Amino acid sequence: MNRNLIIGGALTALFVCAALVSFLWTPDSVETMNIANRLKPPSADNLLGTDHFGRDILSMLMVGARTSIAVALVAVGIGMGLGVPLGLAAAARSGGMLDEVIMRMNDLIFAFPSLVIAILITAVFGPSATNAIIAIGIFNIPVFARITRGAALSLWKREFIMAAQVAGKTRTRISAEHILPNVANLLIVQGTIQFSLGILAEAGLSYVGLGAQPPIPSWGRMLADAQTMVSLAPHVALIPGLTIIAMVLGLNLLGDGLRDALDPRLKVVRA
């Protein structure tokens, strides 16, 4: 039995469920403040305690999960949506002008310190969850382009692809019909890894005030708010931090588990 897959899948499912449930129900309102009840440690009333405005931390985490998951998921979508076609195109004309241009552009994006550019983008266009998505998404493009190209290149040398060429199929059609399905597993695994990196990046951007803006709860900002309270009430920093770790760990384990389950020979690039 694949232990990584089970633990990782369970953790991921837990957070996705928490985010979905938060649309319908949370233990407490995340918008009403209750100053009298602030910085309370975990208790029967507030399972994970309250923050500096007296808001229920569990409820904040549940709603914050929506932000984290949405940002990371869309950022992976951008990376896959643009990166995979680019990688397929580069591999289909390997060694040609197009391949060269695509790969050089990839190198260029890799040369930019991702965090600095993310901060630049969010600062230029204003801090918001949407701009955080774009900033994180841009850096997913070369990751997917590179991994797709690498896997596709080795497929192009295989007999069944040659057979398809002999049968008169165009390179575009071969890429879509034969190459893509064969790299899909690899992309799913890498997607999980990028998802977890996206969660971390979103938390970092929100922490410095460039992610989702108040009143939308986000894990990163909960930590930023907690920073000055940490000596008075360590739980306000401890709990959101452990939540991020659990989510990221879950996704990484899920990725490893999927890799082993789908194809043990696959190697995952951790960018």
Alpha carbon distance 80, 222 (integer Å): 30
Closest CA to 137 of 108, 98, 109: 109
Alpha carbon distance 151, 166 (integer Å): 21
Least distance CB 99 / other proteins (angstroms): 13
User: For residue 227, how far is the Cα from the chain centroid?
Assistant: 24
3-state SS class at 50: strand
Which of 37, 114 has the CB closer to other proteins?
114
Number of neighbours of residue 213 by Cβ within 10 angstroms: 14
Which of 87, 127 has the CB closer to other proteins?
127
List of residues contacting other proteins (CB under 8 A): 104, 107-108, 110-113, 115-117, 119-121, 123-124, 196, 200, 203-204, 207-208, 223, 226-227, 230-231, 234, 237-238, 240-241, 244-245, 248-249, 252-253, 270
Which of 186, 236 has the CB closer to other proteins?
236
Least distance CB 245 / other proteins (angstroms): 5
Which of 166, 231 has the CB closer to other proteins?
231
Which of 23, 112 has the CB closer to other proteins?
112
Output the DSSP codes for 179-238.
IHHHHHHHHHHHHHHHHHHHHHHHHHHHHTT-SSPTTS--HHHHHHHHTTTTTT-THHHH
Contact criterion met (CB below 8 Å) for 145 and 187: no
Helices 180-207, 114-125: axis angle to 10 degrees equals: 70
Least distance CB 253 / other proteins (angstroms): 7
Least distance CB 126 / other proteins (angstroms): 8
Which of 33, 208 has the CB closer to other proteins?
208
Residues 6 or more apart whose CB falls under 8 angstroms from that of 240 comprise 57, 61, 64, 219, 222, 223, 226
Least distance CB 45 / other proteins (angstroms): 25
Which of 164, 237 has the CB closer to other proteins?
237
Least distance CB 204 / other proteins (angstroms): 5
Least distance CB 160 / other proteins (angstroms): 27
Q: Which amino acid, one-letter code, is at 195? A: F
Alpha carbon distance 128, 80 (integer Å): 22
3-state SS class at 162: helix
